Chain A
Amino acid sequence: MLDLYSPGTSVLHRLPPAPKLLALMIGATVMFLNENLLLTAAAAMAVLALYLLAQLSLKQALAQLRPLVWIFAIFFVLQWVFSGLELAAYVVLRLAALILLASLVTLTTRSSDMIDTLTRALRILKPIGANPAKIGLAISLALRFIPVLAQITADVREAQKARGLERSVIAVAMPVAIRTLKMADDISDAIESRGYRP
C-alpha cells in the first residue's frame, strides 16, 4: 500500500511545506546538473540521512522505491548495454535519490498543508483564469483516491479471477472504469454536501 504522510514530530515534520518544496526543486535541479557518479552516490546517502533525521526508518525509505524496481532494472540494463556500466549506475542512482527526496517531502508534510501552500503559490495564475482552490482540491483528491482506486482494481481483479477472466484486460478495465465513474459522482455529491464552494 502507498505511504503518503507518516505522522511525526521531527524537525522535517515541523518545517513548513514551502521551504521543503523549494529545497526539493533546488535539490532535483542540482542532481540533474551533476554528472559525477560519486557525488550522486553522496547525494543519495545524504537523502537517506535525512530520512533518519525525519525519524523514518530505512525500511520506509526502501518501500518508496519498491514499486519502481522494474523500471530501475530496465533503465539499468538499457544504459549498461548502450552507454556502459558507470552511466547505468549513475542514471539509476540519480533517479532513486530523486524519488527518495520527493517521497521524503510527502512523508513529512500533511497533504492539507502542502495543498494550502500550493494554493497560495498558484494565486499568480489567477489572471489567466486558473482557480487555485480547485487545483488544490484536485491534488488532494488525487492523493486520497490513489489507494482507493488500487483497492477497486484489486477487488475487480479478484472477482474476475474467480470467473476465470484474470487474463482479460477488458474484463478488469471496464468494471474499474464504471465503478470509478460512479464513485466520482458520489464524491462530487459528498463534496457539495460538505459546503464546498469553488
Chain B
Amino acid sequence: MKYRLLAGVSALVTAAALSACSSGGDGGDGAGGVTTVDVWLMRDSVSAAFQKEFTEGFEAAHPDIDVRIQIQEWDGIGQKITAALASNDAPDVIEAGNTQVAQFAESGGLLDLSDRKDELNGDDWLKGLAEPGSYEGKQYGIPYYAANRVVVYRKDLFAKAGVDAAAITTREQWIDATTKLNKGGTQGIYLPGQLWYALGGFIWDEGGDFATESGGRWEGALDTPEALRGMAFYARLQALGKGPKDSDEDDPPQAEVMAQGQVAQVISTPGGANVVVENNPQLEGKLGFFPIPGKTAGTPGAVFTGGSDLVVPAAAGHPDAAVTFIKELTGDAWQKKLAVAMSYVPNRTTLASAVADDPGASAMAVGAANGHATPNTPGWAAVEAENPVKDYMTAVLTGGDAAEEAAKASADITRAMNAGS
C-alpha cells in the first residue's frame, strides 16, 4: 500500500509538468464570435509598417475577424508548409512562392478556390502567377504580387565613379561599369555565389534552361553549352565584388550588406531597396534602379518572374474568413498600396498604373517583358528544396571544373525532379 505515495508523487509531478507546459498553448478563437484568421506571410513580403496598416484597416472593416500574421523564413519553408498542410489545425492563409503551389495542390492539401475566381477578379490576374497557381484546371493559388529582379544601385557612387547608369544597356557595358566601380573600399557589385535566380536569367539569355522535358521526363540541363555560358558570365560578374561564394542572398541578407554602405550594386527586387533604407536611413534617395542588361542593347536581360500566391489549406479552420482576408489583401485598394509600398507588380494587369511613377517598378516592367519561369511541374519543388544549382554555382566559383560540375548538378536535378514519380 505504501507505494501509493510514490505513485501519487509521480502523478502530481506529471500533472504539474504538463499543466505548466500547456499554458502557452492555444489562443485560436477569441470569445464573442470573433474569428482569428492565422496568416503566414514570407519574410520581406510586406514591410512592418504595411503589415500594421493593413491589419488595422482590415480589422476596422471586419470587426468580427482578428488577423494574426506570422512572418516565415524562406529557408526550409517547403517542409514547414508540408507540416502545416498535413496538420488538423493549419493556418488559414499561407503565402507560397508561385513555383511551389503545384506540388501542394497535387497532394490534395489545398482548398479549391475555383468558384471564388470571379469574386476575386480572376480574369485580370497576371498569367505568371495565375498559371502556376492552378493545377489540373482548378485554381488553388490566388495571385498575390509579382516581382522580378533589377539592378539596385547607388546613385552617389555611380556619379563619383563617373558612370551613367542609363547608358548601361548591354552586358559588356555593365561589366565595364562595374569594374570601374570596384575600387578602393567599394564593391562594384555584391553578388553572393548562390543567387541562382540571377544565374537563371543569364542562362535564359543564352537560350538555355535549368531543365528540359522530353517525353514526359525532365532532365537537368545545366551542362548544355548555353547554360555553361550563362554560368561563365555569372562568375565574371561575381568577381567584381566581395560577395561570399558559398551562400545566397539571405545569408547574410544582401540588403543589410548594402546598407553598410560599401556596395555599389545588388541584384534584387526593387522592394529590396526599401529594406536597405530601413537599415540605413542615410541612403534615402541615393538608390536607383535599372533593368538587368541583356546581351544586346535591344533586349533586356531575361529575368525570373517571381511572386507569390495565397493558398488556403484544406485543413484551415476558418476558410470563409480566409477568403475574406484574401479578398481584401488582393483587392484594389490594398494591392495599390502594397505595390507602391513594396515596389511590387500588382496581381492584376488592370492595376499596373498604380506603380507607373515608381522608378523601381518601371525598371522591373522593362525586365518583365522578358520574364521566364522555372519548370512548371510538381517535381521542381524538390529541386528547390535540395538545390543542387546552388552547390554547382559555389563549386564553379571556387575553382571547380565548370563542365564537370554542371554534369553532376544536372544529374542531381534529373534525380530530384523524377524522385516523386
Chain B associates with chain A? no
B interface list, Cβ under 8 A from A: none
A interface list, Cβ under 8 A from B: none
